A and B are shown apart, each in its own frame.
Chain A
């Protein structure tokens, strides 16, 4: 650009045509400003409506009909599918298994993640190395994790049984005992997700303002006391986040349980069949009954919502009983941004 020549001269010829142009482009611009925001968010909402919301509601419609996987829709049957499913022992077994695996995976996982995060939060050398190290299992597919651990928890030539034998204990029948199989499957979930949650907790710990620790140190609080009186209360919002996401994921567990043996049907006595496996079995397995599969899907949906509400109530109860209000922790987070 030549700075010397006045720009007016160059624009002069265009000035005559300007008024009409502005009017037109202004109108266009107005619509541009008004419509663009909706246009930009519409792909998400349209696709979500088609592949998320509609199927979820449609599940309800299917669940009150007789519906064969291949034959298609039949008569309206009201809640028959639900009562039929609730009458089956397999449903209750699958519900029990799902809860058992979920509890065995979520609770130890959160505790372990917080402890490892606290260790990582020390002023260690080679931070990135250790952080990447704990995240490594995250890139292994759940199906692959299932295949690896079904050998580690093998009844014969399994690593865990060999270790138990080494310290003089009896081998565990991982694939026939219900609780043992739940423990093994929960271990797979823990293996893959503990590191991921550790990093979430670590980030939250780093956002805790140093003054809180400073004050505690002056008051003579030791390391352990600081951890329980400052770190844990400050992590409350994060704990809630992790617990809720692990609830949503944990109650839908499928891959690991399916890979626990070659058949993938939850064991001879269905001792580790989860609700999602049950849905798959009803819809695409032996029964080919979409109506009942949809009924179980809705029941599982309700269970997840119920657990979510319980989670929320418990966590907010704790937060009102705690020493620090959640507001402080939110502020602390903002500061880190």
Chain B
């Protein structure tokens, strides 16, 4: 990957040939070091990966153990024991509504992802490509609301949901998460670059209405960013605990809520708690292995654009 240094002629002209020679030698050295890093780099990365994966492995170790072993030892062995499916069965058949929690979490996450993507794409298209009065200030407002900790508004939100008779319904969880400022900002940023004005003009010249233009031109262009936004919204919704915990009851929980319930319910047997953790984490792990590449790309794109 050693790219020749472009400024060498300039150096030769301004500082003399000797300086240019030295510069070239240094550059060569640096380029040599730049080719492929040595084993130390991989060792360090290996340690980092080990740290980020170990707690999950630890879950398997504990979840595949049993009450007696686990209450007497730090680690029940370096390899998983045979009790994992047993423990999972026990938790699934236990008194805690895991099936219901799973369905609740799934419905909430899917509906929120769809809603966030649809509304963010609409708003993002409008902000990025359409001209209208107040566009600038409104966009600034959207960005400013990203910094507003809406989690602090739980008290009135609870009052409103109770007034609407939505207390202890998953609708009360879904509604506050149907739009996000981040989503609007994300789609605005993406469409600004990904959707050329010429395409919109062409559609308009052909006589397409505004919504038809959006449908036929903006949506296809927005697809990659929309998929990433859906992914992040889904994960954020799946792991969300605070607001569902406030508004839902223990009989009608989400997965994180039921995981927490296991902690007090099975406090004498950590292998069952960990089996519960494994159950609630497994769906996102599957998603991670299917779409981890997109997650990485999404975070990196968002960072460069944000």
Give A residues with C-beta under 8 Å from B. Answer: 29, 32-34, 36-38, 40-41, 43-45, 47-48, 50-56, 58-59, 61-62, 116, 119-120, 122-125, 128, 130-145, 147-149, 151-152, 157-159, 162, 191, 195-196, 199-204, 206-207, 210-211, 214-215, 217-218, 220, 223, 238, 241, 244, 248, 251-252, 254-255, 258-259, 262-264, 276, 279-280, 283-284, 290, 293-294, 297-298, 300-301, 304, 308, 333, 336-337
CA distance in complex: A18, B159 (Å): 57
Contact among A56, A61, A139, A223 for B148, CB-based, below 8 A: A56
Give B residues with C-beta under 8 Å from A. Answer: 1, 3, 5-7, 11, 23, 26-27, 30, 33-37, 41-42, 44-45, 48-49, 51-53, 55-56, 58-59, 62, 70-75, 119-120, 122-123, 125-127, 130-132, 135, 138, 142, 145, 147-160, 175-176, 178-179, 181, 184, 193, 209-211, 214, 235, 238-239, 241-242, 246, 255-256, 259-260, 263-264, 267, 270, 273-274, 277, 280-281, 284-285, 287-288, 292-293, 295-296, 299-306
Assuming the contacts A55-B157, A59-B155, A148-B55, asked whether A262 and B150 have C-beta atoms less than 8 A apart, the reply is no
Contact B281 A135 (CB under 8 A): no
Residues on A with C-beta less than 8 A from B154 are: 55, 279-280, 283, 297
Tell me, rounded to whole Å, the shortest Cβ–Cβ distance linking A278 to chain B.
Answer: 12
Contact A139 B284 (CB under 8 A): yes
Contact A125 B151 (CB under 8 A): no
CA distance in complex: A9, B132 (Å): 40
Contact B119 A47 (CB under 8 A): yes
CA distance in complex: A299, B37 (Å): 50
Contact A43 B122 (CB under 8 A): yes
Residues on A with C-beta less than 8 A from B264 are: 262-264
Residues on B with C-beta less than 8 A from A255 are: 241-242, 256
A-B complex: 3 closest residue pairs judged by Cβ atoms: A55-B153, A141-B239, A58-B156
Contact A41 B239 (CB under 8 A): no
Residues on A with C-beta less than 8 A from B209 are: 29, 32
Residues on A with C-beta less than 8 A from B158 are: 283
Residues on A with C-beta less than 8 A from B36 are: 123-125
Q: In the complex, what residue of chain A is closest to B40 when comparing beta carbons?
A: A119
Contact A147 B285 (CB under 8 A): no
Tell me, rounded to whole Å, the shortest Cβ–Cβ distance linking A306 to chain B.
Answer: 13
Assuming the contacts A43-B179, A136-B288, asked whether A48 and B145 have C-beta atoms less than 8 A apart, the reply is yes
Contact A214 B296 (CB under 8 A): no
Residues on A with C-beta less than 8 A from B259 are: 141, 143-144, 147
Residues on A with C-beta less than 8 A from B127 are: 41
Contact A41 B126 (CB under 8 A): yes
Assuming the contacts A44-B184, A220-B26, A280-B246, asked whether A138 and B235 have C-beta atoms less than 8 A apart, the reply is yes
